[in-house]
Amino acid sequence: MTIHSEKNEKKARNDKNTYHKKQGGKAAETKPPSDEERAAAEAAALEADVAERRAVKAHVPLASINRGALDEGDRDAAQARAEEAQAARKLAKKEQKAKDKAAAKAKRVERKRARSLSDSEPDKVQATAPPPEPAAAESSGGFFGFFRSLVSAH
Instruction: Please state whether the predicted TM-score (pTM) of the whole model is above 0.95.
Output: no
36-57 pLDDT per residue, tens: 989 999 999 998 888 778 777 7
61-102 pLDDT per residue, tens: 767 666 766 665 567 778 889 999 999 999 999 999 999 999
The amino acid present at 3, given as its one-letter code, is I
d(CA 115, CA 109): 10
Q: How far is CA 101 from CA 104, 107, 110, 115, in A?
A: 5, 10, 14, 21
